[in-house]
Amino acid sequence: MEFFATCPTGFEHLLAGELSSLGIEGPRALKGQVAWTGPLEGGLRACLWSRLASRVALVLARVGAGDSDELYEGISSIPWTDHLPEAATLAIDAHGTNANLRNTQFLALRTKDAIADQLLSRRGTRPVTDTSHPDLRVVVRLREARATVGIDLSGEALFRRGGRRLAGRELDAAPLRADYAAALLAAGAWYRRCRQDGPTLFALYGGSGSVLVEAAEEAADRAPGLLRPRWGFEGWLGHDASAWNALLDEADERAERGKARLSTLSLLADDPRRGTGSACRAALRAAGLDAEVRLGPDAPDAEALATVDLSWLGTDDLAEESLALGRVSRLATALAPGSTISGLARGGSLAAALGQAPVSAHDVIAGTSAARIEAFSVSADMAAGSRPTVTLKDGTVVAVMVGASDQFAARLAKTARLRAKWARREDVGCYRVYDADLPDYAVSLDLYQGVPPTPGRWLVAAEYAAPKGIDPGLAHDRLLDVLAIAPAVLGVAPSDVYLRTRERARGGSQYAEAGRPARRDERRGRRSELPAGSVLVDEGGLTFEVNLAARLDTGLFLDTRDVRALIREMAKATAGSKRFLNLFAYTGTATCYAADGGAKHTTTVDLSNTYLEVARRNMARNGFSGREHEFVRADVVGWVAEQRHTANRWDLVYCDPPTFSNSSGMRGSSFDVQRDHAELLIGISRLLTRAGVCVFSCNLRGFKPDTAALAKAGVVLEDITDETIPEDFSRNARIHHCYLVRRG
């Protein structure tokens, strides 16, 4: 008989090796499957014992399939009365297309019609279709003008292990599928270690425990399909029950003998993600395995197989990836020589983290992304640390991906020392430490220092878009090095580093709903909500809420720190009604400064309810509340136009618009600061009292004011940009533009 076993892309050679170990002769690795010929017993054994196959199919025939009629005739030539019992339900599993059969649903329909018509003519009844739990599933695989037709012997996919369901809802990441876990073990030659006494497995990022369960089952010689309640071949007339029962008896005996091996098995796991420890233990219990797992980062003393699953990392999870690769590197130096590391990750990050090429590699798909399963041999050199390192002045050694990153470490250490001295002198708690000082390390690093009740230090790293021509892999590795070096230099816990990937220009409004539980803050005798994920920082003697995790922008633009200080001084000098207006107010920090400078009435305008709520909290925790402080949700451009027709006038206005916005709440289709600033400033000038002034800030780097249009409308513009660039942004004087706007 002829068989094929399907598998995920990249598993083919691993599966062929597994089938050979089961006694199947001559398996041929093809694309997405492994084929062989032999007795039925081999196909049944593959169903029961394979950990890597998705399905096992028995080939009935190969038929012409140049068009639908030829396919129909070929399917009709197969004696279906020899395969499908009377009153049995049927499903068709169709794959592939060609020039005339361009839809798999149509391919399945023509196959079903051919089978049903034959059975109707011979038995007088048509089979009932049941796509969920059919008695028999027919497989049709189309390639060019030929179709392979067979019986699915497995039924439900084999990676859905019978009698076992892994926990996943309570975890921070989805469980690793059983066949991928088995592939990690196969790539690391776990089967060889299982033949020795006391095999040891260390699962780094063990997640829900699927790797541990697969490893324990293999060590105990228990067939993965032993507890499976239903098989596809049970609804096939050609099924050999005696051969199957013999296989089950053999598997039962082997499992019974293998129980004793669990007492010598060592399972270790380390995973900092929430809920993983309890999930690993629960998975072993659910699988009926009497095996214990020891949790923690301590590597075993003896030779071991270490598995590393980084498939849960997204392409943007670089901060997490940096932490994970650091753990991989430390694990490699702690493992005994002779150990093996088998990892699943995207790109070539594992090889760079370990400082050596893999001994074997398999290109696979993890989720929807390309990934690799790689195996590495732990030698004495790796145990000594073959990955490049950077030694800091305090003696701290940091493993890096790129040897030249020592230049970044030296520059950052020097800049951080100077910035810290300046910050202490100026009493600044949140500031920029580094801003692409080295072109190859194009990131900015902002340090945030919290105040009670949220003390601490946090680092926000923002990656600038890499220029064309820069190797993306090299840029990726450099960024990982930044995320490894910067926390060590700045005294920040690696888990308190947050990464943003953005362009150099801050464009548009970044409005994201926080939607998280809140806690109370008692500072300054006021009770105000502080969402989870937010912390409190001090600037200029005022307390502000920043959110480092949930949004692209934290809620405090550090480059306009001196602009806010200027507003406070201007508020102190303002005579008359002392009314302040904040347009495009964001989180209301400028309003707090104005109120602290003596503004008696403030109006804070923004289109985002989310940020207006933050503004209210910022004002309240700084002691400014009451009816004299109003918050208005409105499209600023339209609101300014409306206010021109009222008697409302303000002594001091601050306007810091986005570079571009097309929010659905705007009256117009979009706002472009270069295109629309003149009209906006003319409107604002009409809202000023006779001695009033507007501070206009803009972060479009190439911004050029339309002085002619403004002068024609009687608007006077004074450029004060140089006076408002803080020391920590002095390298980049174009970080923003700032002007005073008055009526002529």
User: Mind listing the pLDDT tens digit for each residue in 571-608?
Assistant: 999 998 999 999 999 999 999 999 999 999 999 999 99
Residues of the chain with CATH 3.30.2130.30: 2-152
Write 8-12 long-range contacts (CB < 8 A, 24+): 8/32, 8/54, 8/179, 8/180, 8/183, 8/364, 8/365, 9/363, 9/364, 9/365, 10/362, 10/363, 10/364, 10/365, 10/373, 11/52, 11/179, 11/183, 11/362, 11/364
DSSP string, 452-466: TTS-EEEEEEEEPPP
pLDDT higher at 733 or 239:
239
pLDDT value at position 417? 96
Report, as an integer, the average pLDDT of 146-169: 80
Contact 183, 364 (CB under 8 A): yes
Lowest mean pLDDT among 213-227, 307-321, 536-550: 307-321
pLDDT value at position 424? 96
pLDDT value at position 530? 77
The SS3 call for residue 125 is coil
The Cα 632–Cα 648 span in angstroms is 14
Residue 519 has pLDDT above 80, yes or no: no
pTM for the model: 0.77
Query: CA gyration radius for the chain?
Result: 34
CA dihedral over 90, 95, 98, 104, signed as positive or negative = positive
Class of the domain covering 389-501: alpha beta
Contact 390, 397 (CB under 8 A): yes
Alpha helices for 503-588 (secondary structure H): 561-573
pLDDT value at position 533? 78
The SS3 call for residue 427 is coil
Residues of the chain with CATH 3.30.750.80: 389-501
Residues 6+ apart with CB under 8 A from 508: 658, 659, 660, 661, 662
Q: Which residues pair with 693 in a beta bridge?
A: 652
Residue 381 has pLDDT above 90, yes or no: no
Under CATH, domain 178-220+265-384 is a member of which superfamily?
Vaccinia Virus protein VP39 (3.40.50.150)
Report, as an integer, the average pLDDT of 341-355: 88
Cis-peptide, bond into residue 726, ω within 30° of zero: no
pLDDT value at position 667? 63
pLDDT value at position 349? 84
pLDDT value at position 514? 32
pLDDT higher at 388 or 358:
358
pLDDT value at position 317? 81
pLDDT in tens, 650-696: 999 999 999 988 876 666 678 999 999 999 999 999 999 999 999 99
The SS3 call for residue 63 is strand
CATH topology of domain 2-152: VC0802-like (3.30.2130)
Above pLDDT 90, what percent of the chain?
78
Torsion angle defined by CA atoms of residues 308, 312, 317 and 318, in that order, rounded to the nearest 10 degrees: 20
Residue 384 has pLDDT above 80, yes or no: no
Report, as an integer, the average pLDDT of 386-412: 89
Residues 6+ apart with CB under 8 A from 121: none
Q: Which residues pair with 6 in a beta bridge?
A: 33, 55
> Binning pLDDT at 50, 70 and 90, where does residue 525 land?
very low
pLDDT value at position 668? 64
pLDDT value at position 243? 97
Residues of the chain with CATH 3.40.50.150: 178-220+265-384, 518-534+547-743
Residue 511 has pLDDT above 60, yes or no: no
Could you tell me the maximum CA-CA distance found in the chain, to the nearest angstrom? 102
pLDDT in tens, 238-292: 999 999 999 999 999 999 999 999 999 999 999 998 888 899 999 999 999 999 9
HSE-up of 224 (CA within 13 Å, CB side)? Answer: 26
pLDDT value at position 508? 35
pLDDT value at position 728? 96
What is the DSSP secondary structure assignment for residue 734, as one 8-state letter?
T
Three-state SS string over 273-292 comes to CCCHHHHHHHHHHHCCCCCC
> Binning pLDDT at 50, 70 and 90, where does residue 522 land?
very low
Residue 516 has pLDDT above 90, yes or no: no
pLDDT value at position 168? 45
pLDDT in tens, 169-197: 455 567 899 999 999 999 999 999 999 98
pLDDT in tens, 437-459: 999 999 999 999 999 999 999 99
The pLDDT mean for the chain works out to 91
Closest CA to 738 of 712, 706, 705, 690: 705
Residue 636 has pLDDT above 70, yes or no: yes
pLDDT value at position 732? 85
What are the phi and psi torsion angles at 665 (to 5°)? Answer: -85, -5
Residue 520 has pLDDT above 50, yes or no: no
CATH topology of domain 518-534+547-743: Rossmann fold (3.40.50)
Residues 6+ apart with CB under 8 A from 602: 579, 580, 581, 582, 591, 594, 595, 619, 624, 628, 629, 630
Report, as an integer, the average pLDDT of 610-635: 96
Alpha helices for 363-518 (secondary structure H): 380-384, 405-426, 472-490
> Binning pLDDT at 50, 70 and 90, where does residue 529 land?
low
Q: Which residue has the tokens 């999870």?
A: 317
Q: Phi-psi bin for 3: left (phi > 0), alpha (psi -120 to 50), beta?
A: beta
> Binning pLDDT at 50, 70 and 90, where does residue 107 land?
very high
